[in-house]
Amino acid sequence: MLEGLGSWPVQQADQPPAHSREKAYASSNMALPLNTSLLPRTPETGSCACLRVHADHPPGVNLRDGCLSVAPGLESLAASYRIEEWRADGPGRASLEGHVHLLEHADVLFAAWHQPDTTLADTTRQAYLDLFLAVRARGFPYPVRIWNYFSDIHGDEDGLERYQSFCIGRGLALDELGITEESMPAATAIGTRAAGLFVYLIAARCPGKAIENPRQISAYRYPEQYSPESPAFARATRIETTEGPQLLLSGTASITGHESRHVGDCAAQAREILANLDALHATAGNDLPPPAWLRVYLRRPEDQPVVAGILSEHYPHTPAVHWVLGDVCRRELLVEIEGVHARTP
């Protein structure tokens, strides 16, 4: 369980005393009112107090018409435009705290942060401090899913690759907050062509369950050859929702143990990823439904037809797929896949 975050004290004047809330959370086993889907386009009518993630929009974060909209600099491949939507029951309360955009529901909180990323280690540290303190203050101490996007992931910063600087900044923030790497939820970190660091998350009042992959060493136990500071995320998070169990899949690459596999062979990398995703599904529980949707990050757009064919062969009913350009955290890796196991309407 994501126990490390639960130790944070919560104190805010316009809420019930911390001790009464903690007692309520501890005794609550309620399922989260959380649904997700990929939409082919922005709904033309009506409003929804939801989180929407847009590819191909000008990069930025805004709160409009009761919706938290994040455009993190992703670029859809041809004819693949999709909008990722997360919905919680009831009206949401939108607010802005410094650089943190918040959309608060009764049992789910969406939060997003965006700033220039010139010095990525410092920027990442600040992003995580701002976000985690904001969700804690509102009584949502359990992030269940986090996304990270930033530019020039393999570029140099003070003699380190920028992905390594990102890991260092995240690690510094977690140390300051007293959060262990083992308590972190599922996450994605992808390099984009857009400037700036985007971090957004879904938080809850009760913890999800961190799922690790028996085919892989936990990311926070990687040897130092990959980064002076290990990555901090779970391979997946299982949550219970009013629509049934969900499995939130981290960005997953062609790695077994801690080593990259099938260098230069995108098709073989895709098959290795699917083996990892199957292992996560089996570990998380056979009561979980198949994937509702997947996002595939490709370094080279010409690999899309091959990977699409492999997905079609693997899944009896191919889930909705969003194809985007993105740089995986290791130079030798060509493809990464994330997604959600959830019941579909």
Mean pLDDT of 277-290: 97
Per-residue b/e over 111-128, b at no fewer than 16 CB within 10 Å?
bbbbeebeebbebbbbbb
Helix, strand, coil content of the chain in percent (nearest 5): 25, 35, 40
What is the reported pLDDT for 5? 38
Pull the structure tokens for residue 131.
Answer: 């976000």
The pTM assigned to this predicted structure is 0.91
Enclosing H/E stretch for 23: helix 18-27
User: What is the b/e burial string over 47-84, where b = at least 16 CB atoms within 10 angstroms of the residue's CB?
Assistant: eebbbbbbbebebbbebeeebbbbbbbbeebeebbbbb
Residue 296 near residue 277, CB atoms below 8 Å: no
Cα separation, 108 vs 92, in Å, equals: 9
Helices and strands in the chain, H and E counts? 5, 22
Largest CA distance in the chain: 56
What would be the CATH architecture of the domain defined by 4-341?
A: 2-Layer Sandwich (3.30)
Share of the chain above pLDDT 70, in %: 90
Give the pLDDT band (50/70/90) at residue 218: very high
Could you list the active site residues? 336
Given a cut of 90, is residue 24 above it in pLDDT?
Answer: no
Given a cut of 50, whether residue 175 has pLDDT beyond it is yes
